[in-house]
Amino acid sequence: MSKRMYPFYFIAAALGLYVVFAVVPSLMGLYYSLTDWSSFTREINFVGLDNFKTIFSKDENYMHGIQNTLVFTVSTIVLKTVFGLLLAILVNKGIKFKNLHRVILFMPSIIPMLVVGIIFKSVFEPQFGLINEALRAVGLEQWTQHWLTDIRWAFKSIIAVDVWKGAGYIMVILLAGLQAISHTYYEAADIDGAGAWMKFKQITLPLLMPSLTVTTVLNLLYGLKIFDTVYVLTNGGPGYATEVVYTQVFSQFTLGSYGVGTALITVLFIAMAALGYFAVRLMSREEQTG
C-alpha cells in the first residue's frame, strides 16, 4: 500500500514546491504593487490602484515603454518567423555542407547577449563601424547614421540585432517541423501539377502550423520580457527612445520605488498571460482549419 502511495507523495511535493516558489511570490508581488513600498521609508502603506494610475498616466513615461515593448514584440515575431522559415526551407534542401550551414546559422542564438552587445556596438559605431565603413566604401556615405544614438534609428537597430540573434533558433524549430512532413504529399502535388507556391500554401504551411504555434508563443513571451538587448546596446537611450517595460522596472528598483516597479511587472505579467492565451487559441484555430 505504501508503494502505491509514492506517486501521490511526489505529486504533493511538486504541488507544494509550486505553491511556495510560484504562487506565493506572485501573490506577494500583486500585494506589493498595491502599496507605496520604497527604500525611503520602513512603512508600507496600502494605496490601492494608485501605482497603476501612475503607470497609465499621460504625464508619465511608462506608456512609452509599454508601447515600445509591444512594437518590439510584434516586429520580432514577424521578422524572426519570416527569416527563420526562409532559412529552414533553404537548409532543408539538398545543398552541400548543409549541416555546416545549419550550425553557422544557429550559432548567433547561443552567443551571450553581453558579447553580442560588444560586437554590435562596434558594428554600429558612427565613425569606424562596419556598417558605415561599408556604406562609405560603396559611395553611399549619405546613408551613414548614428545607429544607436539617433532617435530615428536606435530602436530599429535593436530590433535588427535581436532578429539576427534569434532567427537561427526559430530556424531549428521550423526545420524539425519541415522534416516531419512526409515527401509523399509533395510527390502527389507534383503529379497534380502544383507549383512551388501552391505546395507551400497547401502543404507546407498547414502542416507546419504546430511548429509555428510554438515559435510564435516563444517569440511573444521573449519579446514582452525583453531587457538584456536594450540594456546592453542603449540602456533605454537616447533619452527614452528605446525604453521598454523591464528597463523601466530596473530603473524603478534602482531608485528604490519598489511599489511602482512591482506594478509594472504585474501589468506585464497580465499582458503575457492574456496575449499568450489568445495567440495559442488563434494559432490552434488556424491549425484546425488548415
Please state the rounded mean pLDDT for residues 164-170: 95
Specify the CATH number for the domain of residue 88. 1.10.3720.10
Give the model's pLDDT for residue 102: 87
Average pLDDT, the chain: 89
Q: Is residue 189 part of a domain?
A: yes
Give the model's pLDDT for residue 9: 83
**Which one, of 274, 72, 283, lies nearest residue 177 by Cα?**
283
The pTM for the full model equals 0.89
Q: Is residue 35 part of a domain?
A: no
Beta-bridge mates of residue 155: none
Maximum mean pLDDT: which of 9-13, 46-50, 190-194: 46-50
**Cell 544557429 sits on residue:** 106
Residue 284 predicted with pLDDT over 60 = yes
**What is the C-alpha to C-alpha distance for residues 289 and 285, in angstroms, rounded to an integer?**
6
Residue 173 predicted with pLDDT over 70 = yes
Q: Is residue 55 part of a domain?
A: no
**Model pLDDT for residues 128-141, shown as the tens digit of each residue:** 899 999 999 999 99
Give the model's pLDDT for residue 272: 87
Burial 63-90 (b: 16+ CB within 10 A, else e): ebbbebbbebbebbbebbbebbbebbee
Task: Domain count for the chain, please give it.
Answer: 1
Please state the rounded mean pLDDT for residues 258-264: 93
Residue 84 predicted with pLDDT over 90 = yes
Q: Is residue 142 part of a domain?
A: yes
Percent of the chain with pLDDT over 90: 60
Q: Is residue 194 part of a domain?
A: yes
178 alpha-carbon distance from chain centroid: 23
Q: Is residue 45 part of a domain?
A: no
Bond preceding residue 126 cis, omega within 30 of 0: no
Count of Cβ atoms closer than 10 Å to residue 197 Cβ = 8
**What is the C-alpha to C-alpha distance for residues 212 and 171, in angstroms, rounded to an integer?**
11
**Which one, of 79, 86, 57, lies nearest residue 178 by Cα?**
86
Please state the rounded mean pLDDT for residues 180-187: 90
**Model pLDDT for residues 31-59, shown as the tens digit of each residue:** 999 999 998 888 899 999 999 999 988 76
**What is the C-alpha to C-alpha distance for residues 221 and 279, in angstroms, rounded to an integer?**
11
Q: Is residue 46 part of a domain?
A: no
**What is the C-alpha to C-alpha distance for residues 39 and 257, in angstroms, rounded to an integer?**
7
Burial 260-283 (b: 16+ CB within 10 A, else e): bbbbbbbbbbebbeebeeebeeeb
Q: Is residue 44 part of a domain?
A: no
Residue 286 predicted with pLDDT over 80 = no
Range(s) of the domain holding residue 279 = 61-289
Residue 83 predicted with pLDDT over 90 = yes
**Cell 508601447 sits on residue:** 67
**What is the C-alpha to C-alpha distance for residues 243 and 155, in angstroms, rounded to an integer?**
9
Residue 30 predicted with pLDDT over 60 = yes
